[in-house]
Amino acid sequence: SVVNVDSLDDPKFDLSVDRLKNQEFIETELNKILSTQNSDYWINKLNEAKVPCAPINKFSEALSDEQVIHRNMMVEVSHPDGGTVKMPGNPVKMSYTNEDSYSPPPHLGKDTKEVLKIWSDYDEDKINKLIKDQVVGSIN
């Protein structure tokens, strides 16, 4: 066994509040144990013990992860400038929801006026001055 079995009976690990108080000790001990093997080894061991787990992927690995692809978490959307752009898919999957209705991101500054009108109490003159003074960008 890779875990010190005596530690499992220690009362300082009985309740989640106790484990939280001893988090630094637990992390140190786990790091000592986990650093002895690679992540594939531990994922296999945890899967054998029916402990839900998954690797922590680098960004590049996450985008090509089989579960990300299977769940349609990255989608390709046609862009008005030509070509396609990859975007995050909808994380909420429902039976009767059309998941194919994605829009490409707007050009930088395209929605500046509309966003400021909605989310600030600035009037048209104030917004135009911010654009003129290059405080915010706009392509309108």
Count of C-beta atoms within a 10 Å radius of residue 73: 16
pTM, two decimals, is 0.49
* Average pLDDT of the residues of the chain: 87
Q: What CA–CA distance (Å, rounded) separates 23 from 16?
A: 10
Rg of the chain over all Cα atoms, to the nearest angstrom: 25
Indicate if the pLDDT at residue 90 is higher than 60: yes
The angle, 0 to 180 degrees and rounded to 10, between the axes of the packed helices 112-119 and 124-132 is 130
pLDDT on residue 131: 93
Contacts of 131 (CB under 8 A, 6+ apart): 112, 113, 137, 138
pLDDT digits (tens, 9 = 90+) for 6-38: 676 888 888 999 999 999 998 998 899 999 999
Q: What percent of the chain has pLDDT over 90?
A: 42
pLDDT on residue 138: 87
